[in-house]
Amino acid sequence: MKKWLRALMSVAAAAFGVQSNKNREHDFANLPAGVVIAAGLIFTVLFVLTLAAIVSWVMP
């Protein structure tokens, strides 16, 4: 579970452009690629759904 949380935090930081190179290198060295890919897909889906919900709420 800790790997999933670390991967989601890493993906979120990278998506918003606030992840340091040191953390990126640490995550790629210590997290399995499958976990990072899955976290990226989950983050992307949640991000798109959140944007769609905000747009549908703002636009009648």
For residue 1, pLDDT over 80 is answered with no
Is-contact 7 35, C-beta < 8 A? yes
Question: What's the pLDDT score for residue 57?
Answer: 96
- Report the C-alpha gap between 57 and 13 in whole angstroms: 26
Question: What's the pLDDT score for residue 49?
Answer: 98
Question: What's the pLDDT score for residue 3?
Answer: 85
Total number of domains in the chain: 1
Whether this prediction's pTM lies above 0.75 is answered by yes
Distances from the Cα of 17 to the Cαs of 20, 24, 39, 59, in angstroms?
Answer: 9, 11, 16, 28
For residue 56, pLDDT over 90 is answered with yes
Residue-wise pLDDT for 22-54, tens only, equals 988 988 899 999 999 999 999 999 999 999 999
Tokens of 4: 């999933």
Domain membership of residue 19 as a residue range = 2-58
